[in-house]
C-alpha cells in the first residue's frame, strides 16, 4: 500500500515529523513487500504439498493395482488347482471302474493321478506363495508411501514454520518502525 518515495522527496529541510512519517512509510512499504513475498512462498508451499499428496495417491493406486493383479493371479492359480483336483478325482473313478478289467491300466492311471495331485499341491503352494507375496508387496508399498509422505510433510512443515517465523519477525520490525 505505500510506495517508497525517492530520497529527494524529503530534503534535509523537512520537519522532523515529516522525516519520521517518510521513514515510517518507507519501512511499511518494505515490510509489505516482504509480507507479499512470504505469502507467495506460502502459496508455493501449499502447491508443493498438493503435488506431494497427488503423488502419494498415484503410489497408492499403483499399490492397489498391484494387489488386484496379484489377487487375479492367485484366483487363476486356485482355479488351476481346483481343475487339477477334479481331474485327479475323475481319474480315480475311472481307475476304480476299470480295476477289474486290467491291472496294468490301473497302475498307469494311478501314476497319472499322483502326478496330477503333485501338480495340484504345487499349484496350491504357488497360490499361497503368490498371496503372501501380494500381501508383502502391498505392505512394502504402503510403508514406502507413508515414509515418503512423512518426509514430504516434515519438510513442508519445517519450511512453513520458517516462513511464519520470518513473517512474524517482519511484522515485529514493521511495528517497531511504525
Model pLDDT, residue 118: 92
User: Which residues are CB-contacts of 91 (< 8 A; sequence separation ≥ 6)?
Assistant: 109, 112, 113, 116
Please give the residue that has the higher pLDDT: either 170 or 38: 38
Q: What is the mean pLDDT of residues 10-32?
A: 76
Number of other residues whose CB lies within 10 A of the CB of residue 74: 19
Between helix 103-177 and helix 16-98 the angle, nearest 10°, is 170
Residue pLDDT, tens place only, 100-151 = 677 776 677 788 889 988 988 998 898 888 889 888 988 988 898 898 888 8
pTM for the complete prediction? 0.31
Burial of 31 (0-12, 13-18, 19+ CB in 10 A): buried
Ordered by where they begin, the domains of the chain are 16-177 (1.10.287)
Amino acid at each position: 500500500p505505500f510506495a517508497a518515495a525517492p530520497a529527494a522527496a524529503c530534503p534535509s529541510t523537512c520537519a522532523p515529523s515529516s522525516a519520521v512519517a517518510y521513514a515510517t512509510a518507507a519501512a511499511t512499504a518494505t515490510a509489505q513487500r516482504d509480507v507479499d513475498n512470504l505469502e507467495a512462498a506460502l502459496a508455493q508451499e501449499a502447491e508443493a504439498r498438493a503435488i506431494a499428496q497427488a503423488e502419494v495417491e498415484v503410489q497408492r493406486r499403483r499399490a492397489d493395482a498391484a494387489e488386484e493383479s496379484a489377487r487375479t493371479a492367485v484366483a487363476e492359480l486356485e482355479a488351476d488347482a481346483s481343475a487339477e483336483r477334479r481331474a485327479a478325482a475323475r481319474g480315480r473313478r475311472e481307475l476304480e471302474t476299470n480295476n477289474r478289467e486290467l491291472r496294468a491300466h490301473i497302475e498307469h492311471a494311478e501314476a497319472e493321478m499322483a502326478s496330477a495331485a503333485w501338480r495340484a499341491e504345487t499349484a496350491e503352494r504357488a497360490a499361497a506363495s503368490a498371496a503372501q507375496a501380494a500381501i508383502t508387496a502391498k505392505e512394502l508399498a504402503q510403508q514406502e508411501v507413508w515414509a515418503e509422505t512423512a518426509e514430504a510433510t516434515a519438510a513442508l512443515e519445517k519450511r512453513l514454520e520458517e516462513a511464519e517465523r520470518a513473517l512474524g519477525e517482519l511484522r515485529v520490525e514493521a511495528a517497531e518502525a511504525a
